[in-house]
Structure 1
Amino acid sequence: MEKSTRDLILQRLMQTDWISGQDLADQLNISRTAIWKQIASLKEAGYAIESNKKTGYHLVDRGDHLTALAIEQYLQTKFLGRDIFHVEETETTQRIAHDLAQQQVKEGKLVVCDYQTSGRGQLGRVWHETKGNGIAMSLIVRPDVPLDQAGQLTLVSGIALATSLREFDVPVTIKWPNDLLIDGRKVAGILTEMQTEANRISSVIIGIGINVHHDAFSTAIADRATSLKLATNRTFRRAEIVASFLNQFEQMYERWLVDGFGSFVEAWEHLADKLNQPVTLRSRQQTLSGYLRGIRADGTLMVETDQGMEAFHSAELVYWAEN
């Protein structure tokens, strides 16, 4: 996607210590007045920029932005996130990603926004969001694998996200199949949806929501939700978190395509919440209790009950009174 004049100016500010207005004007072939207007626009958008008559402009703080340019500066990927569609506000990034996938955009395109007004999680639940405090993103991939293996991408995504957050010293664990927790409270969720064509996978849309800078939650979820800020008493750059996930996930995704999920079992169990502890599990047919013993190479969960070891492909672990 072609960068705007404002993005080009911001990119040059990121690449240098000080740069004069004349140098910017010469490089972009626009007037110094146009440069000044774009600098003012960047300041209004929240970027801390110093101005000096002799030395020009200096970017003091890159701020906490989720723009394509903000994410790209941290990316180390070959193809994931190299084409980013950013909006400040939308109903849901999943809907945009589905539309883009049907338009045959390249694998790896990312949709990201600052605020989702109608975000949703697993089983159609509402994803609660606060403007400017979280991350909502949807990634388009096109794996050439059998239909019944697509769900494993939820698990691989969870491993990648947990691994990347632990690099920021955030003690997350994975609640099978699609939630990330900190001390038993949900901090992130993953929603994987598939598009098919002629009995084959056309695309998989991996939607991820992360609570980052939330200070509080509604009374309905206050006992089960947390944010990175609440859990660590630190602030984060959301763009860096997005890029860190993409950097991790690209490597894991390519390995999964070759080796399958079996090569991730050990990593998942290392990150799993309540491994070898009592759990309650609910499926469409039943609710039962037992001990969570791990995960199989096909992604099914193993729970040891009084009747013996049972495997579950589609169910959920019940943590709260109303899950």
Structure 2
Amino acid sequence: MSVAEFNKKKFIDCLSNIQGVSDKFTASTFANLHIFLSLPSTNQTLWQLIDSGESPSIVIASQQTAGRGQWGRNWESTVGGLYMSVAIAKQYGSTIAPNISISQTPQLTLSSAWGIASSLRDYGVPVQVKWPNDLILEHKKLGGILTETRVNKKKISQAVIGVGINWTNSVPDTGINLQSYYRKQSKSEIFSLEMLAAIVFHGLDFGIKQLLESGIESILPSYQQLLINIGQQIVVEDRIGTIVGVTTNGELRVKFNQDSASPLTQPQISSSEIFLKPGTINLGYGQPIPGSQE
């Protein structure tokens, strides 16, 4: 499949048509947008542009040849998908971003996922989120988010948030693209990759602004309403627990029944509720999760 060039003007036109987007924001986005046919990684390229002294806010590529997912996993980034990276400190001002401590890094991913999912739902796509960084449609992976940060004196001095969304690209069995979803629907409200990019960028912008202006507490209740893992049973050190939510620091809350403990494991997990950091457990894909919300 040939690599089609992403249409910058069409993207900006779509962005300007989204309710609540100002002309000033659209002009700033246009001035700081970098488009590429093919890159190893949009996150990597955005960091390189920042280090070279340029002031880009967004990098978009039609394909990635060495895309990365969470925890360094390979992210398949074939032609037809949306591959976008956004520089938070450049976009939101260095006086705001450093107020986030390093321990709050997962909040950037959480708020981005919530904002993007909410924005897509406004356009009729019933996206949910899977802890910690995936966007889910019909119990399959529609996209993912990768947050990378730089830290100075235990504060985040700059962050790059990468987003990959399946549009028409090929996907594995655990994935889904929007076009295959739309083929089963009576209508679609997203008509192009550029429109999808505008909706996703606006959602990410909305989520990050909400985090920086009002705190994670303003996001967490509605984030958890979209969390597909609520009610899912998992095994932690031979004990069966139920996922009940996410903490303000982005940790997974798992509650154990009193009768789920065994004499061998009680000394290891004595609390009736524990918190799991991102990357410590794989929650899987593909099947409806008992107790999950639609």
Please give the TM-score of this superposition, normalised by the length of structure 2: 0.76
Q: Secondary structure at the match of 1:81?
A: helix
Residues 1:66 and 2:6 are matched in the alignment: yes
* Aligned residue in 2 for 1:54: none
What root-mean-square deviation, in Å, do the aligned CA atoms of Structure 1 and Structure 2 show?
A: 2.6
TM-superposed CA distance for 1:297, in Å, is: 2.3
Structure having the higher Rg: 1
CA separation of 1:102 and 1:135: change in aligned 2, threshold 3 A: same
Q: 1:199 to 1:167 in 2, by over 3 A?
A: same
Of 231, 237, 242, 1:291 maps to 242
Cα distance in 1, alignment partners of residues 281 and 6 from structure 2: 31
2:214 corresponds to which residue? 259
Cα shift at 1:151: 2.2
One-letter amino acid of the counterpart of residue 283, structure 2: V
What displacement does 1:250 show?
A: 2.3
* 2:182 aligns with one of 210, 213, 232: 232
Cα drift, residue 255 of structure 1: 2.4
1:1-323 mapped onto 2 (5 Å cutoff): 66-75=6-15, 76=21, 78=25, 81-82=29-30, 83-106=32-55, 109-131=57-79, 133-142=80-89, 143-144=97-98, 145-214=100-169, 216-217=170-171, 221-222=172-173, 224-233=174-183, 236-279=191-234, 289-305=240-256, 306=260, 308-314=272-278, 315-320=280-285
Contact 1:189 1:210 in 2 (8 A): yes
How big is the shift at 1:280?
5.2
2:74 match: secondary structure: coil
Residues 264-298 of structure 1: CA deviation (Å, up to 9, x unaligned): 111111111131232457xxxx6864211011223
In the alignment, the residues of structure 1 paired with residue 249 and residue 152 of structure 2 have an alpha-carbon distance, to the nearest angstrom, of 23
| Partner Cα separation in structure 2 for residue 111 and residue 293 of structure 1 | 36
Q: Which runs of 5+ in 2 are unaligned?
A: 16-20, 90-96, 262-271, 287-294
1:189–1:309 CA distance, 2 compared to 1 (3 A): same
Asked if structure 1 preserves the Cα contact closer than 8 Å seen for 2:140 and 2:285, the reply is no
Q: Report the identity percentage.
A: 25
Question: How many Å apart are 1:313 and its aligned residue?
Answer: 2.3
Q: State the shift of 1:85 in Å.
A: 0.5
Change in CA separation of 1:96 and 1:309 when aligned onto 2, cut-off 3 Å = same
| 1:300 positional shift | 1.8
- Which letter maps to 1:168? Y
2:152 and 2:54 mapped to 1: Cα distance? 15
For the residues of structure 2 that align with 1:245 and 1:299, how far apart are their CA atoms?
21
In 1, the alpha carbon distance for the partners of 2:153 and 2:274 equals 33
Equivalent-residue separation in structure 2 for 1:139 and 1:95 (angstroms) = 11
Once the two structures are TM-superposed, the CA of residue 198 in structure 1 deviates from its matched residue by: 4.6
Could you say if the C-alpha distance between residues 316 and 97 of structure 1 is closer, same or farther in structure 2, counting changes exceeding 3 Å? farther
Structure 2 equivalent of residue 5 of structure 1: none
Following superposition, the deviation at residue 257 of structure 1 comes to 1.2
Tell me which of the two structures has the higher relative contact order, counting C-alpha pairs closer than 8 angstroms and 6 or more residues apart: 2
1:105–1:263: structure 2 CA closer, same or farther, 3 Å change rule?
A: farther
Secondary structure of 1:73 counterpart: helix
Deviation at 1:99, TM superposition (A): 1.1
Q: Is the 8 A contact 1:177 1:316 kept in 2?
A: no
SS of structure 1 residue aligned to 2:29: coil
Distance 2:58 2:238 in 1: 37
CA contact 1:279–1:292 (8 Å) conserved in 2 = yes
Q: Residue 86 of structure 1: CA displacement?
A: 0.3
Q: 1:294 to 1:102 in 2, by over 3 A?
A: same
